Structure 1
Amino acid sequence: MKPVLGALSLALLAGLSGCGYLAGEDGYFRDRGSDYQGVVIEPRIDIPEGVESKPLGDLLPVPGQSVAEASGEKFKLPRPQPMIVSADAAEFSLQQNGSVRWVQAQRSASDTWPLVRQFWNDYQVPVASETPSLGQLQTGWVAFDLQSNNPLLRRILPAIGEGRSVEGREHRFRLRVEPGVQGDSSEIYVTHMSRSQGGSRTDWPENSDNANLERAVLAELETYLNQSRSGASITSLMAAQAGPRATLARDGAGNPVLTLQSDFNRAWSAIGQALSQADIRIADLNRSAGVYYIDLAQAASQQKEPGFFGRLFGRDETPDEDRAQRTEVRLTAVGGNVQVTVDESIDTAADPRVAVDVLERIQANLN
């Protein structure tokens, strides 16, 4: 009862004596932001002779003349200086405030959007809907147990958490690119949603269903964007979706080479899609090395997908057999182009007839 009586008493006093009692110059809640301007500077303390002391400087120096004294106007706090990003600082960084996470980009939202859109395209995650003018994108539903060959899903799989099953579940992500606080900056947010496969749930949750998956996707996005900044810029969404021009020729040693007039990121995505459309099985990949490992002994459509626990605890082939059947499709950035070759290993080129057949199938399926 005491807090209630105290509040009633305060309200009664405010009603009897007016608002000036609370917020006026002599009120209880008056503005004290300019009190320092009336502070009297006292003389320094005199130290008696014979006493040792260290000289102390002014810990909080008062300026000789304030704006209020010069103009007679009320003092206004200056705006903070803009944040300076050095050349060595990361252009994209993962930030967190409490339970809210985002990727901070030192680029405008319009410049960040095509890079973010290319991220999903490169990792072959379908996009269900997008609104570039609002900076919003929604992926299609993906299943970890049915799409284990997807490199992005394979890397973020541990983030689901111990004890949580992936079988019979499907997931999707919503992404937002918003203008940042500083000029020419933006912030990227991700929301995760899951449901049973074929379920009817469609409404997005206020917060991610799995915060660990949200953070894992943001971390992958941050790494991808920082790696992409060193490559050629993607000028527009239409340019990112357009297929690169490709020319099939032979190098000085007579080995077939497919040359793409494109930057590495677009070429990597285009080659991956072309291999899938050509029904060539991708056994593994290494994006940092620019290599797709393909299996020419079996078409992608004939591949039997093992169950989830089968992928964890067993293999259909022994490691030696698996390596023996792999052929490398290698991408190498040369100037402003990307050269695609077919090799048995990093030191050995593939049989020219096999290489020509693979490169022709890739060229025929480039969009």
Structure 2
Amino acid sequence: MAGCTTTTNLLQSKKVDYKAQAEASPPLDVPPDLTPVQTDERFAIPERDKNKGTTYSQYSKDQGTTTTTVVAGTGGVLPKLGNGVSIERDGAQRWLVVKATPEQVWPVLKEFWTSNGFELKVDNPQLGLMETDWTENRATIPQDFLKRVLSTVVNNLFSSPLRDKYRTRVERGTVSGTTEIFITHRGMEEVVSKDYTGTSWQMRPEDPEMENEYLKKLAVRFGTTPEQATTLVASTTPAAGAQPAAPAVQSNALATLVKQPDGDTVLSLNEPFDRAWRRVGLALDRSGFTVEDRDRAAGVYFVRYTDSDAPLKSKKKESFLSSLQFWKSEDKSKDTQTYRITITTISGKGSKVDVRDKAENQINPDTANKMLSLIYEQLH
């Protein structure tokens, strides 16, 4: 039996464990003079064994649901996907493609993240953005005998020095009736000051392995088996030493920062518009920009540029409860503005990216250069 592997274990990676923080909230009490609202079973979260995952296809089978018809005006029911799930790759970037509309996918994504132990900080279906709050990764806590015993009594007695958050971006697929789902990771770690008088939270590099882990989990949630999900990710992993796919226009670099004669800075990409749009969108997610709106037809992302996600300032020794508030920054003076990041096609099938203010006026060259540099760093 030691050599056997169940399908449940295939995706139970020791790299991530956020569920310990997720606690079920008690139902709201209804006043005696009111009647509880009757819920629509179409939107009910599937009941499941706490030790097993539940795919929508399995849920439909258990419920005897075979239809995939969506009735206009009554909301969407996620179709039975079967083989309608794939993982696409462009260079180092991967994303999930499912045979369903964004409207059908959205409620499943919400249930997916909350069931994995996360609270949602951003839930914007109109913009197609969903983002979790910073969450402790308890898989990084060393599990010696004493800690295992104590954790059975008080689960949160020990804390992890790592925090993670995930941003999910949803776009309509290039094929009608499909949806593209992008997952990006950001991480923080708690470090001790040089004089050992306190600690501070600092950003750490994104982890593609954790992104792939959740792409696999999400593929399972949309109807594949764990084995199929693992195969999907493995099939999009470049072989060791393999070179990335050649860009649409041959060049020595994927992107170049170009200083214009007027002092303005633009980012030049050796990619056609479709690929440039996707790459810049992922770069914005990885860089921590807050995307307020987007207009793909015009090639514009409206972003809020702020240092709110910068490393938190060092703090002195403080109470245990105060130390839990790691997300609060003491600096409230940072100015936040909205900018237009525009992608346009240039000759030779390439694209360029520039930054303007909301009224399309030229901004401070240093600010433009800093913003484009942040994007540029995520394109390599």
Query: Aligning the two structures, in what range does the TM-score lie when normalised by the shorter sequence?
Result: 0.3 to 0.5
Higher helix proportion (structure 1 or 2): 1
> What's the TM-score, normalizing by structure 1?
0.33
> What's the TM-score, normalizing by structure 2?
0.32
Higher relative contact order (CA 8 A, sep 6+): 2
Structure whose CA Rg is larger: 1
